[in-house]
Amino acid sequence: MSMQSPVQCKSKLPDVGTTIFTVIGQLSSQHNAINLSQGAPGFPCDPALVDGVTKAMKENRNQYAPMTGLPHLKQLISEKVALAYGQHYDTTDEVLVTASASEGIYSAISGLVHPGDEVIYFEPSFDSYAPVVRLQGATPVAVKLTQPDFRINWDEVSAAINSRTRMIIINTPHNPSGQVLSESDLSELVRLTQGTDIILLADEVYEHIVFDGARHHGMATHPRLAERSVIISSFGKTFHVTGWRVGYCVAPKVLMDEIVKVHQFLMFAADTPMQYAFADYMTNPVTWQSLGPFYQRKRDLLQSLLAESPFRLLPSAGSFFMLASYGHFSDEPDSEMVKRLIVEHGVAAIPLSAFYTDGTDNKLIRLSFAKDDATLKAGAQALCQVKPR
């Protein structure tokens, strides 16, 4: 029985309740559904990482790490960014190890966005951006990606920019669409932000998961964007340990100074044993350079397995995800479609409408291929049994 309280509480996020992700998770558990919904790897990490954490714990590396991260790990992050993208970040003032990429996103928005500011972001979007902006007393401004290719309409972005625009949030590779920014997109960003104080917050947690020989066009690949960007990445997504909750961000000192002020009171420091394990593991660049081919094989496997299904798959250029269209055989709302998939077919996906603040429904579902091959095969087999309605 819940405790009763005389306290009246005015919510800062009155419209935020139980999300569709929780609903899908509970329904999936009830029906023991095959998990193609969650954006987390469904296979073990490299045992060397577990050994590294165990070693650190046994060596009593169990107290607070330095507030901004282990110096050796920060040095390796700086070297990785330089090797991959050609941009150099000072390890003392421009690299921060965070307690998850989500903490990095929160600390960056909280430290850099003020009441009355506006923040442009793109929908469909990861669900935390708009609420975190609202918590600062600022206004999130959604610009919808084009359909069906999920590209940015830069004319719409230009029209949304005004004197109150403080930040633009970029996500590439993109969750949930699996699309990536191009070199021409970076040129448009330069054009629209030059001569302004607009900050770019780049959620690049899937930075190493880009397919078909393409290059990751992140903010660090362009000096004029890097100088105004906070770039967020995730050890969890990169090394298949999302539950460890360690990420990092890099940014010019003038921006990082404000982010660190929030980070020191929000978390102070990320988990110490995990930082030691990542530092040992990252000394070999193959650990992150092999991710693209690894996940491309899984993408291609799921595509081939679904070739005979009633769903039409949209291209996936990066990330853990691909979208599947069903509007040609059913007019069900996407939220009802995913419930039917769980209850009648025992497979879980996510409705794309969950990634829009206004619930836009384009009859698309999101599938995750960050799973072991047996799960992909079982999930695809179930989806191939879906009948038109």
Residue 343 lies in a domain: yes
Residue 300 lies in a domain: yes
Residues 219 and 357 in one domain: no
193-241: pLDDT as tens digits: 999 999 999 999 999 999 999 999 999 999 999 999 999 999 999 999 9
Q: What pLDDT score does 354 carry?
A: 93
Among 33-42, 296-305, 324-333, 334-343, whose mean pLDDT is lowest?
33-42
Residues 241 and 279 in one domain: yes
- Domain end, chosen from 263, 288, 313, is at 288
Residue 206 lies in a domain: yes
Strands 118-123 and 165-171: parallel
Residue 152 lies in a domain: yes
Q: What percent of the chain has pLDDT over 70?
A: 100
Residues 39 and 52 in one domain: no
pLDDT confidence of 166, banded at 50, 70, 90? very high
Residues 363 and 302 in one domain: yes
Span 56-84, average pLDDT:
97
Residues 330 and 236 in one domain: no
Q: What pLDDT score does 40 carry?
A: 85
Span 86-114, average pLDDT:
97
Task: Show the tokens assigned to 289.
Answer: 């350079």
Span 302-317, average pLDDT:
97
Q: What pLDDT score does 74 carry?
A: 98
Q: What pLDDT score does 151 carry?
A: 97
- Domain end, chosen from 271, 288, 305, is at 288
Q: What pLDDT score does 212 carry?
A: 96
Task: Show the tokens assigned to 163.
Answer: 């004197």
345-383: pLDDT as tens digits: 999 999 999 999 999 999 999 999 999 999 999 999 999
pLDDT at 1 over 80: no
pLDDT at 156 over 80: yes
- Domain end, chosen from 288, 314, 344, is at 288
The rounded mean pLDDT for the chain is 95
Q: What is the CATH classification number for the domain harbouring 133? A: 3.40.640.10
pLDDT at 2 over 90: no
How far apart CA 259 and CA 98 sit, in angstroms, is 11
Query: Which residue would you say has higher pLDDT here, 134 or 19?
Result: 134
Residues 120 and 215 in one domain: yes
Residues 175 and 224 in one domain: yes
pLDDT at 59 over 80: yes
Residue 344 lies in a domain: yes
How far apart CA 239 and CA 294 sit, in angstroms, is 12
Q: Report how many domains make up the chain.
A: 2
Residues 29 and 63 in one domain: no
pLDDT confidence of 20, banded at 50, 70, 90? confident
Span 76-103, average pLDDT:
97
Nearest one of 39, 272, 307 to 174, comparing CA atoms = 39
Residues 300 and 276 in one domain: no
Residue 15 lies in a domain: no
pLDDT at 18 over 80: no
pLDDT confidence of 170, banded at 50, 70, 90? very high
Residues 365 and 230 in one domain: no
pLDDT at 150 over 90: yes
Structural domain boundaries, residue 367? 20-45+291-383
Residue 7 lies in a domain: no
Residues 302 and 235 in one domain: no
Q: What is the CATH classification number for the domain harbouring 332? A: 3.90.1150.10
pLDDT at 312 over 90: yes
